[in-house]
């Protein structure tokens, strides 16, 4: 059994079929992609413009426009089918009503409010659209945690309130001598939950020396709550949300704790002077910095899955490289899995553990990044590889032809009209995915089960 398949499956997409209803016709944007995402991996999704990459990402989030009909398929996240109500309606044979679909989407949006941003989040190409222009960025991070997990902010604040200097020294000794796992046990035994993430966020920093880290950890005992914040938290705990003034008071106290968390998160994401940055507004930051803030918001609640749709396409090359480095670090430091969507295979080569290649709304090949780059099997994947610009190429190849009109995709294999190896069978029958090995599957009649090449 391969390494990948023994890992925990965090997301499962099965045979997703989705069409957009427009005046110009019905666009069959997703025609049955199936994929699994495993814990702690980055799955890259590549394909030409119009192949359905973004639609796949949005469908996984359940974030669909009203003209999107989900005809079949499931998106299972943590045992929950994200698009069930839409499929239940869309799979009925009767005529499709955009108005009725819109009502279902509105209801679904309410249901998924507690899931999006908590279990799954998404980062788009343009960070400005994701940020609120009139709020400081730290507030936006703090609010994301306040909305989904206010208890976490209370735990953090009260654990600092309780802990003594001596206890912190003991905890630090446990951490130094016996490691992080023992520290977590010890914190639980002492009933100081909430302190763990504050200690570890300092301990895991790479930008400061160990002696400084120790000092900062011991200093946590001195960072007590103000009287007003203590009162705010106690109002929150007594469930005073019905009274607007009390709830405002409570929220202020928790948002202040959220700011502390935001500073920790930004430090972790390698942002210099985080205490200053959290007070700034989106327009005061550079594009790369804004995208880091959006990533911080996406990660703030430690979601299981983060979908990144062309997150670096609007950035210049050096900043793009920094963001890619960041994603590589994140997957090892957070317990999060990523789907990274890009039309640029050289970007995916940087970050992906596995890569899925999309063509005309289908995944035509999926496998470990190493195999996809070294032994691509589908003619479309091979042609995409040949089109990657490198220093030694004097002439840049492109994939000849263009993507099909998705209102009327070609019968059989959708790539057959552009495929130099197409056979009679390819024009009439649709190839199924076959496993060439545990980690590599491809849908092409040229490849039979168990084939290496
Ligand atoms: N809201 C919509 N209404 C109608 N058609 C749509 C809508 N959104 C997407 N489509 C169509 O669905 C197909 C897939 O689009 P999608 O944006 O998912 O592709 P993509 O691979 O992400 O391309 P790109 O890299 O250009 O974003 C395209 O044919 C597109 O025109």
SS3 145: helix
Is pLDDT at 449 greater than 70 in this prediction? Answer: no
Domain ranges of the chain: 3-129+304-355, 135-277
Measured from the Cα of 310, ligand 1's closest atom is 25
Of 73-87, 92-106, 332-346, least confident by mean pLDDT is: 332-346
- 433 CA distance to ligand 1 middle (Å): 23
Q: Is 46 in the pocket of ligand 1 (CB under 6 A)?
A: no
Q: How large is the average pLDDT for residues 109-113?
A: 94
In this prediction, residue 1 has a pLDDT band, given cuts at 50, 70 and 90, of very low
Length of the chain: 453
Please, which residues bridge with residue 69 across strands?
19
In this structure, the residue with its CA closest to atom 12 of ligand 1 is: 29
Ligand 1 binding pocket includes 45 (Cβ within 6 Å): no
Q: Separation of 310 CA from ligand 1 center, angstroms? A: 14
Number of neighbours of residue 245 by Cβ within 10 angstroms: 9
**What do you get for the CA distance between the two ends of the chain, in Å?**
21
- pTM (2 d.p.): 0.91
pLDDT of amino acid 133:
95
Rounded Cα–Cα distance for residues 333 and 331 (Å): 6
With CA atoms as reference, report the closest residue to 338 among 364, 369, 359, 363: 369
Banded pLDDT at 120 (limits 50, 70, 90): very high
ipTM above 0.95, yes or no: yes
Q: Give every CB contact of residue 285 below 8 A, 6+ residues apart in sequence.
A: 137, 277, 293
Instruction: Note every long-range contact of 280-288, with CB atoms under 8 Å and residues 24 or more positions apart, other chains counting.
Output: 280/136, 280/137, 281/133, 281/134, 281/135, 281/136, 281/137, 282/127, 282/128, 282/131, 282/132, 282/133, 282/137, 283/133, 285/137, 286/319, 287/127, 287/314, 287/315, 287/319, 288/315, 288/319, 288/322, 288/323
Chain segment 17-73, per-residue pLDDT in tens:
999 999 999 999 999 999 999 999 999 999 999 999 999 999 999 999 999 999 999
Using the mean position of ligand 1's atoms as its centre, give its distance from the Cα of residue 29 in Å: 7
CA distance 418 to 411: 13
364's tokens = 């035509």
Q: Return the pLDDT at 6.
A: 61
Does the pLDDT of residue 439 top 90, yes or no? no
Confidence of residue 323 (pLDDT cuts 50, 70, 90): confident
User: Which stretch of 142-146, 159-163, 332-336, 381-385 has the lowest confidence by average pLDDT?
Assistant: 332-336
Of residues 398 and 301, which shows the higher confidence score? Answer: 301
- Ligand 1 within 6 A of CB of 29: yes
Secondary structure, 3-state, 419-433: CCCCCHHHHHCCCCC
Predicted local distance difference test score (pLDDT) of residue 450: 52
* Ligand 1: residue whose CA is nearest its atom 3: 20
To the question of domain 3-129+304-355 being in CATH 3.40.50.300, the answer is: yes
Per the prediction, the chain carries an average pLDDT of 91
Tell the residue number behind the tokens 């009909």, with chain if given.
69
Give the three-state DSSP class for 262. Answer: helix
pLDDT at 448 over 90: no
Q: Kindly state the average pLDDT of the residues 222-237.
A: 89
Average pLDDT over residues 384-389: 83
Could you give the angle at the alpha carbon of 53 between the alpha carbons of 356 and 330, nearest 5°? 65
Ligand 1 centre to CA of 161 (Å) is 51
Confidence of residue 328 (pLDDT cuts 50, 70, 90): confident
């Amino acid at each position: 059994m391969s390494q990948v398949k023994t890992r925990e499956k965090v997301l499962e997409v099965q045979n997703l079929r989705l069409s957009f209803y427009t005046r110009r016709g019905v666009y069959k944007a997703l025609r049955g992609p199936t994929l699994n995402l495993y814990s702690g991996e980055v799955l890259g999704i590549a394909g030409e413009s119009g192949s359905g990459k973004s639609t796949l990402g949005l469908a996984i989030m359940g974030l669909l426009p009203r003209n999107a009909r989900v005809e079949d398929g499931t998106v299972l996240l943590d045992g929950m089918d994200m698009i069930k109500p839409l499929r239940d309606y869309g799979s009925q044979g009767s005529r499709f009503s955009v108005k009725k679909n819109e009502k279902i989407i509105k209801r679904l949006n309410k249901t998924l409010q507690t899931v999006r941003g908590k279990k799954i989040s998404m980062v788009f190409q343009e960070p400005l659209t994701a940020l609120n222009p009139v709020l400081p960025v730290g507030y936006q991070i703090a609010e994301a945690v306040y909305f989904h997990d206010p208890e976490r902010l209370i735990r953090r604040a009260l654990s600092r309130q309780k802990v003594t200097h001596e206890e912190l020294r003991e905890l630090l000794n446990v951490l130094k001598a016996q490691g992080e796992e023992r520290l977590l046990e010890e914190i639980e035994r002492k009933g100081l939950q909430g302190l763990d993430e504050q200690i570890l966020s300092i301990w895991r920093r790479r930008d400061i020396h160990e002696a400084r880290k120790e000092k900062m950890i011991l200093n946590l005992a001195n960072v007590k709550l103000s009287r007003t914040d203590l009162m705010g938290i106690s109002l929150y705990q007594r469930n005073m949300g019905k009274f607007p003034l009390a709830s405002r008071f409570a929220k202020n106290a928790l948002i202040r704790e959220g700011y502390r968390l935001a500073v920790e998160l930004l430090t972790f994401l390698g942002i210099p002077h985080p205490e200053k940055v959290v007070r700034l507004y989106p327009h005061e930051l550079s594009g790369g910095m804004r995208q880091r803030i959006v990533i911080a918001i996406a990660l703030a609640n430690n979601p299981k899955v983060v979908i990144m749709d062309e997150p670096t396409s609007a950035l210049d090359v050096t900043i793009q490289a920094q963001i890619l480095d960041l994603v590589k670090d994140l997957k090892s430091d957070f317990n999060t899995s990523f789907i990274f969507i890009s039309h640029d295979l050289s970007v995916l080569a940087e970050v992906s553990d596995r890569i899925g290649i999309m063509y005309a709304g289908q995944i035509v090949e999926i496998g470990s990044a190493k195999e996809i780059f070294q032994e691509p099997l589908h003619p479309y994947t091979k042609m995409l590889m040949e089109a990657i610009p490198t220093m030694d190429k004097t002439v840049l190849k492109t994939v000849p032809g263009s993507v099909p009109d998705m209102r009327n995709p070609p019968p059989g294999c959708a790539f057959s009209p552009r495929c130099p190896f197409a056979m009679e069978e390819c024009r009439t029958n649709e190839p199924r995915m076959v496993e060439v090995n545990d980690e590599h599957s491809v849908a092409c009649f040229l490849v039979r089960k168990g084939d290496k090449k």
